[in-house]
């Protein structure tokens, strides 16, 4: 996790506002992932990207958007269409077909 | 999405006891991963398994990739207080999908 930076660690937003979570990596990994964690729900996949300029929806993509313009960066936007955005968001990276490494997470609270 | 069934959901044990948890899938996969998460932190990789039947150890932790390629288990021997946390199994194909986790509690 030393090479994966998520910022900020805590984020507060008003209901109805879009918010973008940052994930940057210096591990030169091709693949990047965004997960959402709620109590008792484990980690659920939102979006993933296996290569620059390409990404796929995970199991819970509705209300979220991503971009992958650079290998190092995979920002996640939580839009106003996401009904329950308060959660712990985790970014991960991996080489092709190997294990994933995680950032420290961003805790988003919508008030 | 394809399901991973991880059990037990939680465990309450005495310090020094051995722990066993497992994960099953309805489909065959080529990679099983085991992670531990401390509160407020990202998960940390414990053991990665790449071959059916593979048995791998990492200190007091041992994990095996089932020969059917549909299951895996993780054992922790002689538990200590810092073992407290959530343990996740994960399977990999073009993406990485996680189980719901096993929450390990150690009784005082």
Tens of pLDDT, residue by residue over A58-83, are 999 999 999 999 999 999 999 998 99
Q: How confident is the model at residue A97 (pLDDT cuts 50, 70, 90)?
A: confident
In terms of CA atoms, which chain A residue is nearest residue B10? A40
The residue of chain A with its CA nearest to that of B4 is A42
Q: What is the pLDDT along chain B (108 residues), one digit of tens a residue?
A: 557 999 999 999 999 999 999 999 998 888 999 999 998 899 999 999 999 999 999 999 999 999 999 999 999 999 999 999 999 999 988 889 999 999 999 998
CB contact under 8 A, B43 and A98: no
Of A42, A48, A99, the CB nearest to B95: A48
Q: Could you tell me the CA-to-CA distances from A98 to A47, B33, B45, B77, B91 in Å, in that order?
A: 18, 9, 11, 27, 11
Which 3 state secondary structure label does DSSP give A19? strand
Task: Return the SS3 of B7.
Answer: strand
Contact A99 B92 (CB under 8 A): yes
How far is B41 from A22, CA to CA, in rounded Å?
16
Q: How long, in residues, is chain A?
A: 111
Q: What are phi and psi of B83, to 5 degrees?
A: -75, -15
Rounded to whole angstroms, how far apart are CA atoms B37 and A10? Answer: 18
Q: In chain B, which residues have their Cβ closer than 8 Å to the Cβ of A41? A: 100
- Per this entry, what is the length of chain B? 108
Residue A50 has its nearest CB partner, among B45, B94, B98, at B94
């Amino acid at each position: 996790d030393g090479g994966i930076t998520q910022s900020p660690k805590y984020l507060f937003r008003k209901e109805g506002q879009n918010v973008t979570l940052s994930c940057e990596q210096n591990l030169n990994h091709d693949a990047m992932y965004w997960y959402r964690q709620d109590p008792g729900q484990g980690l659920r996949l939102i979006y993933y990207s296996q290569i620059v300029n390409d990404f796929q929806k995970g199991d819970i993509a509705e209300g979220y958007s991503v971009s992958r313009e650079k290998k190092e960066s995979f920002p996640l936007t939580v839009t106003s269409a996401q009904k329950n955005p308060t959660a712990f968001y985790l970014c991960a990276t991996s080489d092709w077909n190997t294990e994933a490494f995680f950032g420290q997470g961003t805790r988003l609270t919508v008030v | 999405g394809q399901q991973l069934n991880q059990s037990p959901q939680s465990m309450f044990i005495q310090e020094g006891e051995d722990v066993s948890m497992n994960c099953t899938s309805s489909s065959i996969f080529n990679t099983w991963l085991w992670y531990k998460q401390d509160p407020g932190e990202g998960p940390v990789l414990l053991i990665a398994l790449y071959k059916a039947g593979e048995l791998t150890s990492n200190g007091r932790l041992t994990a095996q990739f089932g020969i059917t390629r549909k299951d895996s288990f993780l054992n922790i021997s002689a538990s200590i207080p810092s073992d407290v946390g959530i343990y996740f199994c994960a399977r990999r194909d073009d993406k990485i999908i996680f189980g719901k986790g096993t929450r390990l509690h150690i009784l005082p």
